[in-house]
Chains A and B, each alone.
Chain A
Amino acid sequence: GAVVSQHPSWVICKSGTSVKIECRSLDFQATTMFWYRQFPKQSLMLMATSNEGSKATYEQGVEKDKFLINHASLTLSTLTVTSAHPEDSSFYICSATGRTSGRMKGANVLTFGAGSRLTVL
């Protein structure tokens, strides 16, 4: 089935550094990717929606200069947390939607990555 790979699964960094998280669709072309943030014991909050080849659309209250999203190809989107601070520590999850190219060619899928745990010291 459709698989989304997210990397790294966890990362610890010092305050002030930048961290990049990758989200890859492995067997389908992801026309749209979504980035969510989840704080402990809370639900997923959508941060931004990115369509391949165009600028991401950010949700209200999400700083686009702090959370840089790039969706340069149909299989890869990246989220870069710039100048990270301890309050940015969270679980970041991506999801991707598109049409499969494998056995179930043409099926519309929406799949989630396994998430990336960011801890900023």
Chain B
Amino acid sequence: KQEVTQIPAALSVPEGENLVLNCSFTDSAIYNLQWFRQDPGKGLTSLLLIQSSQREQTSGRLNASLDKSSGRSTLYIAASQPGDSATYLCAVRPYETSGSRLTFGEGTQLTVNP
């Protein structure tokens, strides 16, 4: 059974810092890994999706890497802003077909202080 772990559970940083969120998964046989953002009481916003054949994806100040063999992914946020405050979730998808479902980590709650 796939298990996804995120470290740290919570993180508080001053504005402008670069930071790294970690995600690990126990079964390396994945189709892709996805990072989401969730604001309090809201649904999920997809940030980055990395296919199993890829090493990293970038979008603006966000960079996600994937080391499938070691079961790890990191989300790098550059020059953090108060608006980045949210819970960040990583999730893995085991295979391509539409019936495939995501296994989520418990998230990292990020607070960026002005």
Binding site for B on A (CB under 8 A): 6, 31-32, 34, 41-46, 49, 51, 91, 93, 95, 97-98, 108, 110, 112-115, 117
Contact = CB atoms under 8 A, between A and B. Distances in A.
Interface string B101-114: 11111110100000
B106 A97 contact: no
* B36, B43, B89, B99: most-surrounded residue (chain A CB, <10 A): B43
Closest 10 CB pairs of A and B: A114-B43, A43-B106, A112-B44, A115-B43, A43-B104, A32-B98, A97-B98, A44-B104, A112-B43, A31-B98
Interface string B32-62: 0000100001111010000000000000000
B42 A114 contact: yes
A42 B105 CA distance: 9
The A interface, classified by DSSP as helix, strand, loop or mixed, is strand
Chain B's interface size range is 10 to 19
Contact of B89 (A31, A43, A45): A43
B100 to A, nearest CB: 8
23 contacts: A6-B43, A32-B98, A34-B101, A43-B89, A43-B105, A43-B107, A44-B89, A46-B101, A46-B102, A46-B103, A49-B99, A49-B101, A51-B99, A91-B41, A93-B43, A95-B44, A108-B98, A110-B102, A112-B36, A112-B44, A114-B42, A115-B42, A117-B41
B41 A115 contact: yes
Contacts of B43: 6, 93, 112-115
Given A114-B42, A117-B41, A42 B98 contact: no
Interface string B70-95: 00000000000000000001000100
Nearest to A42: B106
Nearest to A93: B43
Contacts of B93: 110
A32 B102 CA distance: 13
A91 B44 CA distance: 12
Given A115-B42, A117-B41, A98 B98 contact: yes
Contacts of B105: 43
